[in-house]
Amino acid sequence: MIAHRNLGLVAAAATLLAAAPLSAIFERWTWLVQAVIAVAAVAACAALARLGRTPLWAQVLAMLGGLTLALTWLFPSGAELLAILPTPSTFGHFAELLTGSVEDMRSYGVKVPDTDPLLFVTVLGIGAVAVLVDVLCVGLRRPALAGLPMLAIYSVPVAVYVDSVPPVPFAIGAAGFLWLLVTDNVDRVRRFGRRFTGDGRDVDVWEASPLAAAGRRLAVVGLALAVLVPLAVPGMTVGLMNTLNSGVGSGLGGPGLGNSPGRVDLFAALSGELNQSRVTDLVKVTTTEKEPFYLRFGVADDLRANGFRVRGPNGQRATGDLPEPAERPRPGVERTRHQATVEVSRELNMPLLPFYAEPANFDDLGSNWFYDPNLQVLFSNRDDSRGKKFSFEYVRSTYTPQALRSAQPLPADLPLRRQQTVTPDVPEVRALVAELTRGERTEYDKVRAIYDYFSEDNGFTYQLSTEEGTSGQQILDFLENKAGYCQQYAAALAWMVRDAGIPARVAFGFTNGSRRSGETLTLTNRNLHAWTEVYFDQIGWVPFDATPSYGVPGSTRSAWAPDTDAPEETTPQDGTSDTPDETDPTAAPDRDPNQFEEGLDAGAGTGSDTPAGRTSPWPWLTVAGLLALLALLAVPALRRLALRRRRGRLAPVARTVDPPDADSATAGQPSVVVSTDPDRARADAHAAWDELIDTLVDYRVRVDPTETPRATADRLSRDSVGTDAAAGTAVRLLGRAEERARYARDPLTGEPLPAALRTVRGALAGQADRRTRLMATVLPPSVLGRWRTTIADTSARLVAAGGQLRYRLLRFNPRRLIANRASR
């Protein structure tokens, strides 16, 4: 029972630890407090039920009851008995909370504030996981399976955060899981009675079994790998657009919640994809149009306090012909009809499909796809975009500035205008818009005034590494910092145009990219883009792209929205534009507009604003890597060469050494004397012998540390140098010199050791096969072996030191005290 109680507590604690990743979702920590209460209630009920030795099903019921009581107390409807006993109205309240949570999931991005519905769902989920973990661990004794519900909690932030999931909470959760496993196994081992140990020695209860060391090491290595590898390998999770499909709440609310098409944070997905270091082909599109505008798949037109949101689309089946795009011939509006085929790769997974606006009809689309003519998005509730291939006809409209200028302001009571000009009240933005549009008469001129404001002259730069988000404060930050990427530019322009009383929204899609062959464009995750669409009366939605074109590969500009940073050859004819045309070229002298035409990906991946060739550094990096590898491989050979050279050199004639020997005639002299000849001879003999030994190792001749120099020399002259008599004599000479140097009073002097060494080396090389010779030159085994020995020695020392340290620390192990107390 004690073990069970202990295990139950550990299960509860592990559940809470596993919930740590949720901290990335909530702004505050209220959820944790409430989760602790709920889990504690569950654990307490489980413990009580077990005290009564009830069967498993009763324990489950007790835990569920405890969870219900806790939820009732935490989320009261006001009609409870004694504040904790639920009544039917309580459950009605719960149902409302659940529904509300779905709403909240749609409306809030991370991090979410403490709203009751979200907290309810969270606490309910954690409580349910606690029940499951308890049942699996204590009831069924399968703690490994308990990892699955715990993992479910972790999947929530994974699903919500598109690009990065904080590693620390994962480590905490994993540690909780390990704790659970360890506790269960300790309990299991204790039931054996005697504990198994490696060396038959008795081991105290508090002391870890020697057998456990391997498991501990494995666990540590596994945990470290699990945390570090995803950090080290960027973009390991392929196709993060997958998460567009799942949305939030897959771990809590089950499937279906938040799964509506397009109700996701396209902004977050966009920044995530642009920040990917890996480039993935997402879409291939073939069109008959020469200079198509951007491929488009989504739109965000719901502006709230926390930024632009995507509305759920609704529309008709996208099979066959669509209602013909409104044919309202106007002067200055040119309409051309084109044919295009879109092929989506397996990497792009979302409930939306990209196409060119405005479509006239779709072919080859199943009955699962719907078209929303207002939002101009193609969506599905059941299917996804992976591997879809379809073709369609579309009408491309181009406008002259004059045509747009002739558009009248929309009537104030038009639903579209009312709906699409809503902006949260940010006085600074409002003031800026008012200042920019002062004196502008037509709608188009107002839009252009705001649009032109995002020019380099005003200090705007392209930068990927900015904080994402489109809330009022973030727009304000952007307008102040003047650094951002398409998301900020598109949202800010839309926001400001709305402030000016003109409907605007943010569109998502692909630029034309930089890889084009014939009529086919290949678009990657780097080409994802956002821009602004402005509604003009009688004309419709007209795109404006305010993002600096050098930051966007494949950016295209139109006559009505020219590049504000480029030298303006297509300046609007009348001088109503605010942009001081003549200063533009000088303001950006380092930016050659031709660079953009070369279709370079302007460093979008790194977020730097220097346009550089993306593919060009790779060959150099490869060559540099190869060179580095070669240099690394050459290190052993060079080391061997240096050693040989040093040993082959004769000792300098005179050295100053301390007089070490008692037989030195100058014992009473000052401590520095010119060394005697025997010292040098001794050193030479040692050097020659060491070199011989290394040579033997290199040529894979056996080296026996138990052999004396004489025995080694005999063996070599007998076995290894072949029939070469000179080499035999030479190796004996080396052996004798080393022997005398080591053991005799006087070393051999005046013998031609380097010559003998060369002879022996030549003879040994002659006996070795070609592969051995090659290895001896390129990767000398003597050097490698010595390094290996050094490493092994070092690690052995470290292990020994670690063992001692552990032994000392074990003295303070609290479990030892517990064991002592129990034995008393």
Residue 786 touches another protein, criterion: CB under 8 A: yes
Query: 613 vs 75, 282, 553, 604, CA distance in Å?
Result: 58, 21, 11, 11
Q: Which of 145, 171, 395, 651 binds another protein (CB under 8 A)?
A: 651
Cα(604)–Cα(598) distance, integer angstroms? 15
Residue 790 touches another protein, criterion: CB under 8 A: yes
Query: 714 vs 720, 728, 732, CA distance in Å?
Result: 10, 8, 7
**At its nearest, how many Å lie between another protein and the CB of residue 679?**
8
Burial class (CB in 10 A: 0-12, 13-18, 19+), 87: middle
Strands 377-380 and 483-484: unpaired
**At its nearest, how many Å lie between another protein and the CB of residue 771?**
23
Residue closer to another protein, measured from CB, 184 or 698: 698
Residue 537 touches another protein, criterion: CB under 8 A: no
End-to-end alpha carbon distance in the chain: 21
Residue 89 touches another protein, criterion: CB under 8 A: no
Residue 707 touches another protein, criterion: CB under 8 A: yes
Of 395, 358, 398, 399, nearest in space to 378 by CA: 358
User: Of 709-728, which residues contact another protein (CB under 8 A)?
Assistant: 710-711
Residue closer to another protein, measured from CB, 557 or 715: 715
**At its nearest, how many Å lie between another protein and the CB of residue 715?**
13
Residue 220 touches another protein, criterion: CB under 8 A: no
Of 116, 106, 479, 450, nearest in space to 304 by CA: 106
Residue closer to another protein, measured from CB, 518 or 660: 660
Residue 674 touches another protein, criterion: CB under 8 A: no
Residue 672 touches another protein, criterion: CB under 8 A: no
Of 489, 487, 551, 566, nearest in space to 514 by CA: 551
Give me the half-sphere count of Cα atoms (radius 13 Å) on the Cβ side of residue 780: 23
Cα(660)–Cα(662) distance, integer angstroms? 7
**At its nearest, how many Å lie between another protein and the CB of residue 216?**
24
Residue 693 touches another protein, criterion: CB under 8 A: yes
Residue 787 touches another protein, criterion: CB under 8 A: no
Residue 751 touches another protein, criterion: CB under 8 A: no
**At its nearest, how many Å lie between another protein and the CB of residue 764?**
16
**At its nearest, how many Å lie between another protein and the CB of residue 676?**
13
**At its nearest, how many Å lie between another protein and the CB of residue 349?**
57
Residue 225 touches another protein, criterion: CB under 8 A: no
Stretch that binds another protein, among 204-212, 508-516, 684-692, 814-822 (CB under 8 A): 684-692
Residue 743 touches another protein, criterion: CB under 8 A: yes
DSSP code, position 503: -
**At its nearest, how many Å lie between another protein and the CB of residue 763?**
20
Residue closer to another protein, measured from CB, 44 or 703: 703
Residue 742 touches another protein, criterion: CB under 8 A: yes
Q: Are 153 and 21 in contact (CB under 8 A)?
A: yes
Residue 683 touches another protein, criterion: CB under 8 A: yes
Of 346, 441, 326, nearest in space to 388 by CA: 346
Cα(340)–Cα(355) distance, integer angstroms? 8
Cα(202)–Cα(64) distance, integer angstroms? 44
Residue 776 touches another protein, criterion: CB under 8 A: no
Q: Are 640 and 783 in contact (CB under 8 A)?
A: yes
**At its nearest, how many Å lie between another protein and the CB of residue 738?**
9
Residue 731 touches another protein, criterion: CB under 8 A: no
Stretch that binds another protein, among 119-127, 208-216, 351-359, 640-648 (CB under 8 A): 640-648
Residue closer to another protein, measured from CB, 635 or 792: 792
Q: Which of 194, 745, 808, 821 binds another protein (CB under 8 A)?
A: 745
**At its nearest, how many Å lie between another protein and the CB of residue 697?**
8
Residue 794 touches another protein, criterion: CB under 8 A: no
Residue 378 touches another protein, criterion: CB under 8 A: no
Which tokens belong to 56? 């498993």
Is 649 in a helix, a strand, or coil? coil
Of 33, 64, 34, nearest in space to 46 by CA: 64
Cα(42)–Cα(416) distance, integer angstroms? 52
Residue 741 touches another protein, criterion: CB under 8 A: yes
H/E element holding 394?
strand 389-399
**At its nearest, how many Å lie between another protein and the CB of residue 785?**
7
Q: Total residues at the site for another protein (CB under 8 A)?
A: 31
**At its nearest, how many Å lie between another protein and the CB of residue 779?**
18
Q: Which of 789, 795, 804, 820 binds another protein (CB under 8 A)?
A: 789
Strands 369-372 and 377-380: antiparallel
Which tokens belong to 98? 């659940």
Stretch that binds another protein, among 116-124, 486-494, 741-749, 801-809 (CB under 8 A): 741-749
Residue 690 touches another protein, criterion: CB under 8 A: yes
Q: Which of 328, 655, 718, 797 binds another protein (CB under 8 A)?
A: 655
Residue 705 touches another protein, criterion: CB under 8 A: yes
Residue closer to another protein, measured from CB, 29 or 743: 743
Give me the half-sphere count of Cα atoms (radius 13 Å) on the Cβ side of residue 786: 13
Per-position b or e across 342-366, b if 16+ CB within 10 A of its CB: bbbbebbbbbbbbbbbbbbbbeebe
Residue closer to another protein, measured from CB, 200 or 619: 200
Which tokens belong to 758? 């060369």
Residue closer to another protein, measured from CB, 190 or 655: 655
Residue closer to another protein, measured from CB, 233 or 744: 744
Sheet containing 295-300, strands listed edge to edge, beginning at the edge strand earlier in sequence: 295-300, 504-510, 528-536, 540-544
Cα(266)–Cα(391) distance, integer angstroms? 24
| Torsions phi, psi for 189 (to 5 deg) | -65, -35
Residue closer to another protein, measured from CB, 145 or 673: 673
Residue closer to another protein, measured from CB, 338 or 686: 686
Query: 315 vs 375, 716, 779, CA distance in Å?
Result: 9, 92, 70
Cα(674)–Cα(664) distance, integer angstroms? 11
Q: Which of 277, 671, 706, 823 binds another protein (CB under 8 A)?
A: 706
Residue 200 touches another protein, criterion: CB under 8 A: no
**At its nearest, how many Å lie between another protein and the CB of residue 694?**
9
Q: Which of 792, 798, 799, 800 binds another protein (CB under 8 A)?
A: 792
Q: 7 CB contacts (<8 Å, ≥6 apart)?
A: 137, 138, 183, 184, 187
**At its nearest, how many Å lie between another protein and the CB of residue 636?**
15
Residue 646 touches another protein, criterion: CB under 8 A: yes
Q: Are 351 and 383 in contact (CB under 8 A)?
A: yes
Strands 515-517 and 504-510: unpaired
Q: Are 468 and 268 in contact (CB under 8 A)?
A: yes
**At its nearest, how many Å lie between another protein and the CB of residue 747?**
10
Residue closer to another protein, measured from CB, 477 or 679: 679
Residue 638 touches another protein, criterion: CB under 8 A: no
Residues that bind another protein (CB under 8 A): 643, 646-647, 651, 655, 682-683, 686-687, 690, 693, 703, 705-708, 710-711, 739-745, 785-786, 789-790, 792-793
